[in-house]
A and B are shown apart, each in its own frame.
Chain A
Amino acid sequence: MDDLLSDFLTETNESLAELDVALVTLERTPDDAETLSFIFRMVHTIKGTCGFLGLPRLERVAHAGENILGKLRDRTLTVTPAVVSQVLAAIDAIKAIVTTLSTTGAEPPGDDAALIAELNATAANEAPAIESLASQFPSVAANSVPAMQTPGAEGAEATGATPAAVPVAPIATIAPAPAAVENTVPGKAPAAIAAPAPNIPAATQTIRVTVDVLENLMTLVSELVLTRNQLLQLARTQENSAFTVPLQRLSHITSDLQEGVMKTRMQPIGNAWNKLPRLVRDLSHDLGKKIELTMIGTETELDRQVLELIKDPLTHMIRNSGDHGLETPAERRAAGKPETGTIVLNAYHEGGYIILEISDDGRGLAVDRIRAKALSSGLATEPELAAMTDSQIQRFIFRAGLSTAATVSSVSGRGVGMDVVKTNIEKIGGTIDLKSTAGQGTTFTVKIPLTLAIVSALIVEAGKERFAIPQLSVVELVRASRGQDKAGGTGNSVIERINDTPVLRLRNRLLPLVCLTEVLNLGKEDRGENAAHVVVAQVGQQIMGIIVDRVFDTEEIVVKPVAPILRHVTMFSGNTILGDGSVIMILDPNGIARASNVSAGTESKLLRHNVIDAQTTTDKTAMLLFRAGGSQRMAVPLGLVARLEDIPRAKIEMSCGSPVTQYRGKLMPLVAIDGSLDPDRPTQPLLVFAEGDRTMGLMVDEIVDVVEDRLEIELAANRPGLLGTAVIGGQATDVLDTGYWLMQAWEDWFRGAPRKSNADGQKHILLVDDSAFFRQLMIPALGAAGFRVTAVGGAAEALRLRDSGALFDAIVSDIEMPGMDGFEFARTVRAGGPWAKLPLFAMTGHADLQHAEVGHDAGFTDCVAKFEREALVACLRACVTEPVHA
């Protein structure tokens, strides 16, 4: 291809991208003479150059397009969506020809007689009827066009590779064809389309440099950085060396240079967006919806390589928002929203990442439909789904094979969408999340690293070799011991083995472990060495732990591809040279997960873990950690604590043998957890609980910390005043039964209306069922209904709880249970003790009358069929919100 032609192609591709944007602007502001003449000039230039280069076909199309634009400029023709559609069709035809030109170096055969005839007809103002029709309802325009241009079909067919030359389907086929050409062209910042003013890109001084030159520069700079690091490391060992000062300067210059070269690779994200206004315009015509696209932060820069990689996912997501997210004007009117739906694209920097938000103000994700679809396509079972929160269910759209569009349209709904988007984003180390509110819209948040060339990596050692793990995938580091001896105390995690498969208990989850030495065939794991480190890595949706021997620090590394003969080793994503000059392999957590079956085998398992997480009614709770009663570690939900105080010892007075203090003008009773006061302390830390005008101070030894964690109580409340033990912040922690302590201070704390059993206002339900599965099912269900649930596996356990002084608002019990059955249990409860008057519900598999009668006789308040959750919740609500009749 000669230079002249290739210059022309580069130039034209740039112009075409700008043309798309400008035309859409024009459609919105038809009187904008400046934009119009800008468009005219562009097309004119293309036409002129074509004639010069001897490209007759291109010239003819451009000429016809120019004709119309000329008329528009002279105001003999008015700007309507139909006319703009035609000009866009002409530009598509030009694009298609240009694409073929750039690949083959020659114009494709065929002619565009039909298109040209149609353009000329419009130019001659011969189709006013169609035009007025089209302006009424845009999608009609697309249908009316083919009617008047039947002879062109053969010509278009002959071109084959130029789909966009066929005006019959101008919309569906545009996007893919020019994309390939675009990629080779460093574009300019596009016009901000949201602004009504004409925004024709100003000419800045630029020179065109091939990407290869930049890449090469980048490699050289990377090497310079490494050499600099090496030098610095050497210099560190020598004090007062004459090299210190020049070396520092070299270091600075190198950093600046690195930054500068990085900048050359940076491009405004607007470059990836410049196709979107056109896309949205076509979408709105195609779907008969009114869509407005607002783009914020077009100037936000990111690495060229990353930019290329997010283009396609982005396009897909915008399409989705337009097709699935936004409603039709009629639906929007009915919902009391403005007819025009809005899609907002927002980009900004945050840390080393760029955050991209794609939000629409549409109908939001239909949780019910996703749930049904997930069930029907076997992605999850009913109990799993029942235990999931709405947002967990919404995330199913990132799984393969799930499209919620009721009908498959040409735009989307083929069920190959969001999972691909997610995979592509994860491939470049990014993450994607979504937030959706029914009726208000959906927001997708994509977080991607600014650059892929230099990454921060954690250096680890396994089998005497060092490896780098990209920091992006590292969630946390856990120190663990390999041996079974728990000499390290309760705080230390121990790697356990199930038939030689290592696992780790991490915050009440079973974390699948992969031993790096074994995966990499570096010989048997050295089990003699007790200490080990577990690198918890996120691979897509999965979390796994990688056992390594040592962890060094993190280092900025320049990722270099591995030699071709090593490409088949999928465990490595590249290699690099460290500051000390040694070569090190970069591990690919994805590859490790694949090789060790983490991604294949544990997905369902991990899903179940999520279910278990959901058991604890709320996801994470802020917990106040403190020590009291010796050195016990205890926790209380932070929300219950009104204030933390540290009062001087002298201010504690005795009243009727109980400690009190004057607090905010009132006497506040104080309660010590271990029942004793420590007179030697100068001050006394207090947790102050307050409700209404009552306060109470709980004396503790030390306030340790506030942590966010899942409050999942394991049943071990063998002491009054404690709900049980939970793993909080990785350690076993006693959870305070606040209610008990409040009662210690004010016996009638809860008698004040409205009656409350716990300071947090939740009703506390005791669930007795022998089936662990059913308990898992009920805890989140009741939790979601606003109850706090304690579950036990049998009547005997329940009675032990009673004897230990635990209090509940109601009891729900199974009938068929091993040992003491439900009827027996009810009779025992009713026979006396603190629970005798509690509402007592039976759950039965066979909800027949006979059962109900026996149940009643045994003392059950009511019988509810198992699995009828709604009924049970209703019963509970009815009973516990009203005072129980004594």
Chain B
Amino acid sequence: MTTETLDRPAFRPDRPISDTATGVETQVLVTLTVAGQLCGIPVLAVRDILGEQVITRIPLAPPEIAGSLNLRGRIVTAIDLRRRLRLPPAPDGQARMSVVAEQGGELYALLVDSVSEVLSLDASLFERNPPTLEKTWAQFSTGIFRLDGRLLVVLDVVRLLALPGEE
């Protein structure tokens, strides 16, 4: 079930990610793809990487919420990253992976298309979001890494998980 478990201390959301990127020489990111776009999440924010999971639908939940799943006895709320980023839904039958992050004592799983390697990237490759970046993306991204031939969008986990709990 669990393809890889990263035994790291819990991510501290109060630490701004961009600071480490500009101040220190490298930033370690878990790379993932969603709808063909390469993205990265700071490795410290990630609790678990999960393969395909049985997800229980939650009726009446906001559309971004794919459902909930069982991670070793804890109930994890799954958030569909495609929906969150207003991307078209994944084609039927495509296996999806989850990146588990913790926020406010609760666990959340971000459903992505695939998770690839962990990259240690030089801070000099980091750039802030271009001002023309689409709002939905700019809202959830802290900046861009220029890789060889590809661009990597650094996702802001705190903002991704800050779903408005409709009152």
User: Which one of B56-64, B110-118, B136-144 is at the A interface?
Assistant: B56-64
CB neighbours of B57 from chain A (8 A):
465
Across the interface, B73 reaches (CB within 8 A) one of A565, A577, A582, namely: A577
**Least CB separation from B162: chain A residue:** A565
Say if the beta carbon of A105 comes within 8 Å of chain B.
no
Say if the beta carbon of B4 comes within 8 Å of chain A.
no
Are A563 and B70 in touch, CB under 8 angstroms?
Answer: no
Complex CA gap A223/B65 in Å reads 24
Across the interface, A571 reaches (CB within 8 A) one of B59, B65, B73, B75, namely: B59
Are A568 and B167 in touch, CB under 8 angstroms?
Answer: yes
Complex CA gap A223/B74 in Å reads 8
CB neighbours of B167 from chain A (8 A):
568
Say if the beta carbon of A858 comes within 8 Å of chain B.
no
Are A566 and B59 in touch, CB under 8 angstroms?
Answer: no
Say if the beta carbon of B54 comes within 8 Å of chain A.
yes
**Least CB separation from B161: chain A residue:** A565
Say if the beta carbon of A60 comes within 8 Å of chain B.
no
Complex CA gap A476/B167 in Å reads 34
Say if the beta carbon of B7 comes within 8 Å of chain A.
no
CB neighbours of A463 from chain B (8 A):
59
Are B69 and A521 in touch, CB under 8 angstroms?
Answer: no
Are B165 and A564 in touch, CB under 8 angstroms?
Answer: yes
CB neighbours of A564 from chain B (8 A):
104, 106, 165
Across the interface, A226 reaches (CB within 8 A) one of B58, B59, B69, B73, namely: B73
Complex CA gap A465/B54 in Å reads 12
Say if the beta carbon of B31 comes within 8 Å of chain A.
no
Question: What is the CB-to-nearest-CB distance from A320 to chain B, in angstroms, rounded to a whole number?
Answer: 36
Are B68 and A563 in touch, CB under 8 angstroms?
Answer: yes
Complex CA gap A834/B118 in Å reads 100
Say if the beta carbon of B6 comes within 8 Å of chain A.
no
Are A569 and B60 in touch, CB under 8 angstroms?
Answer: yes
- Residue interface bits A151-188, CB-to-B below 8 A is 1, else 0: 00000000000000000000000000000000000000
Across the interface, A565 reaches (CB within 8 A) one of B67, B69, B163, namely: B163
Say if the beta carbon of A51 comes within 8 Å of chain B.
no
Across the interface, B70 reaches (CB within 8 A) one of A466, A520, A572, A583, namely: A583
Say if the beta carbon of A50 comes within 8 Å of chain B.
no
Complex CA gap A5/B61 in Å reads 46
Say if the beta carbon of A271 comes within 8 Å of chain B.
no
Complex CA gap A560/B70 in Å reads 12
Complex CA gap A227/B71 in Å reads 11
CB neighbours of B61 from chain A (8 A):
566, 569
Say if the beta carbon of B134 comes within 8 Å of chain A.
no
Are A567 and B54 in touch, CB under 8 angstroms?
Answer: no
Say if the beta carbon of B166 comes within 8 Å of chain A.
yes
- Residue interface bits B49-88, CB-to-A below 8 A is 1, else 0: 0000010111111100101111011110100000000000
Are A568 and B70 in touch, CB under 8 angstroms?
Answer: no
Question: What is the CB-to-nearest-CB distance from A244 to chain B, in angstroms, rounded to a whole number?
Answer: 23
Are A583 and B73 in touch, CB under 8 angstroms?
Answer: no
Complex CA gap A636/B106 in Å reads 61
Are B70 and A566 in touch, CB under 8 angstroms?
Answer: no
Complex CA gap A466/B56 in Å reads 9
Within 8 A of B (CB), among A785-829: none
Across the interface, B59 reaches (CB within 8 A) one of A521, A563, A576, A581, namely: A521
Are A582 and B70 in touch, CB under 8 angstroms?
Answer: yes
CB neighbours of B67 from chain A (8 A):
583
Q: Given that A581-B70, A583-B68, A583-B70 are known contacts, is A566 also in contact with B75, CB under 8 Å in the complex?
A: no
Question: What is the CB-to-nearest-CB distance from A563 to chain B, in angstroms, rounded to a whole number?
Answer: 4
CB neighbours of B58 from chain A (8 A):
566, 569, 572, 585
CB neighbours of B75 from chain A (8 A):
560, 563, 575-577, 583
Question: What is the CB-to-nearest-CB distance from B60 to chain A, in angstroms, rounded to a whole number?
Answer: 5
Tell me the count of chain A residues lying within 8 A, CB to CB, of chain B.
29
Interface band, chain B: 20 to 34
CB neighbours of A148 from chain B (8 A):
none
CB neighbours of B54 from chain A (8 A):
581-582
- Residue interface bits A433-466, CB-to-B below 8 A is 1, else 0: 0000000000000000000000000000001011
Within 8 A of B (CB), among A555-607: 560, 563-569, 571-572, 575-577, 581-585
Complex CA gap A564/B166 in Å reads 10
Say if the beta carbon of A522 comes within 8 Å of chain B.
yes
Complex CA gap A133/B106 in Å reads 64
Are B59 and A520 in touch, CB under 8 angstroms?
Answer: yes
Of B163, B164, B165, the most chain A CB neighbours within 10 A belong to: B165
Question: What is the CB-to-nearest-CB distance from A576 to chain B, in angstroms, rounded to a whole number?
Answer: 8
Complex CA gap A577/B53 in Å reads 14
**Least CB separation from B73: chain A residue:** A223
CB neighbours of A568 from chain B (8 A):
165-167
Complex CA gap A568/B77 in Å reads 15
**Least CB separation from B67: chain A residue:** A583
Are A465 and B59 in touch, CB under 8 angstroms?
Answer: yes
Question: What is the CB-to-nearest-CB distance from A664 to chain B, in angstroms, rounded to a whole number?
Answer: 66
- Residue interface bits B96-135, CB-to-A below 8 A is 1, else 0: 0000000010101000000000000000000000000000
Are B106 and A571 in touch, CB under 8 angstroms?
Answer: no
- Residue interface bits B16-56, CB-to-A below 8 A is 1, else 0: 00000000000000000000000000000000000000101
Complex CA gap A867/B69 in Å reads 65
Are B56 and A585 in touch, CB under 8 angstroms?
Answer: yes
Are B106 and A563 in touch, CB under 8 angstroms?
Answer: yes
**Least CB separation from A225: chain B residue:** B73
CB neighbours of A567 from chain B (8 A):
165
Are A565 and B65 in touch, CB under 8 angstroms?
Answer: yes
**Least CB separation from A220: chain B residue:** B73
CB neighbours of B108 from chain A (8 A):
563
Question: What is the CB-to-nearest-CB distance from B95 to chain A, in angstroms, rounded to a whole number?
Answer: 18
CB neighbours of B104 from chain A (8 A):
564
Are A566 and B56 in touch, CB under 8 angstroms?
Answer: no
- Residue interface bits A220-258, CB-to-B below 8 A is 1, else 0: 001110110000000000000000000000000000000
Question: What is the CB-to-nearest-CB distance from B84 to chain A, in angstroms, rounded to a whole number?
Answer: 12
**Least CB separation from B103: chain A residue:** A564
**Least CB separation from A465: chain B residue:** B57
Complex CA gap A630/B85 in Å reads 71
Are A575 and B68 in touch, CB under 8 angstroms?
Answer: yes
6 residue pairs bridging A and B, Cβ less than 8 Å apart: A465-B57, A520-B60, A563-B106, A565-B62, A566-B77, A577-B73
**Other contacts beyond A564-B165, A569-B60: 15, CB < 8 A:** A465-B57, A520-B60, A521-B60, A565-B65, A565-B163, A565-B164, A566-B61, A566-B65, A571-B60, A577-B75, A582-B54, A582-B70, A583-B56, A583-B67, A585-B59
Chain B interface residues toward A at CB < 8 A = 54, 56-62, 65, 67-70, 72-75, 77, 104, 106, 108, 163-167
CB-based closest 6 A-B pairs: A223-B73, A520-B59, A563-B77, A583-B56, A565-B163, A583-B68
